[in-house]
A and B are shown apart, each in its own frame.
Chain A
Amino acid sequence: GEDVEQSLFLSVREGDSSVINCTYTDSSSTYLYWYKQEPGAGLQLLTYIFSNMDMKQDQRLTVLLNKKDKHLSLRIADTQTGDSAIYFCAVFSGGYNKLIFGAGTRLAVHP
């Protein structure tokens, strides 16, 4: 079956860049998403990338996709304390017609 994996925890210093990585198994994936979840809140769509792209930049966010290795990353430039949250990678599985989530990466930003 389909699977999405992420590292569980990342700690960075304020002002540094954060890179959150994700790997997936479904080669028929069409859309790949990054969501942010703050404590007790729902999911906020940060950005997404089509499978025929290898990079997308949106202000402080850069998404890189290596389709050959099935590897997705989210880079947050100039990380701020307000970026502290859980970040979920999600892959839309075309073969299974559903959105599959990784376990989430907890980003902690310290002074």
Chain B
Amino acid sequence: GAVVSQHPSRVICKSGTSVKIECRSLDFQATTMFWYRQFPKQSLMLMATSNEGSKATYEQGVEKDKFLINHASLTLSTLTVTSAHPEDSSFYICSARPGMNTEAFFGQGTRLTVV
């Protein structure tokens, strides 16, 4: 199957700093990428849909100024958690689809810990 690479897999940062997470589709082009957040022992919650060359579409309740998404190319989307706080600590997962109405492939996730 197609490969989606997410980096870093783990990151610890201090409160108030910003953290960037990268999501790359390695062997296909993805016009759309999705960013999810997973709290411990809970399901994935869609945060935003990232569209190449246009602004991301954020789900209700997700602060777009706090979670900056940039989909600069057909193989790369980034999520920047700005001014991170301990409550932002979570598992963030991206996914990408090679095209409309195809299966979604997921990155391995990034565990963010804000101290």
A contact set with B: CB distance below 8 Å: 30-31, 33, 35, 40-45, 48, 88, 90, 92, 94, 97-104
Given A30-B101, A31-B103, A103-B42, A42:B49 Cβ within 8 A: no
What chain B residues lie within 8 Å of A88 (beta carbons)? 43-44
Question: Smallest Cβ distance from A50 to chain B, in angstroms?
Answer: 9
Which A residues touch B107, using CB under 8 A? 42
Q: Are B109 and A48 in contact (CB under 8 A)?
A: no
Contact with A along B80-115 (1 / 0, CB 8 A): 000000000000010100000111111111010000
20 pairs from A and B in contact (CB 8 Å cutoff): A30-B101, A31-B103, A33-B103, A40-B111, A41-B108, A42-B6, A43-B44, A43-B95, A43-B109, A44-B106, A45-B105, A48-B103, A88-B44, A92-B101, A99-B34, A99-B104, A100-B46, A101-B43, A101-B45, A103-B42
Contact size range, B: 20 to 34
| Chain B neighbourhood of A90, CB < 8 A | 104
Number of A-B contacts (CB under 8 A): 53
B106 touches A42 (CB 8 A): yes
Point out the residue from A33, A102, A104 that lies within 8 Å of B104, measured CB to CB. A33
Nearest CB of B to A18, in Å: 19
**Among the listed B42, B43, B45, B106, which residue makes an inter-chain contact with A45, where contact means beta carbons less than 8 Å apart?**
B106
A35 near B101 (CB under 8 angstroms)?
no
B101 touches A43 (CB 8 A): no
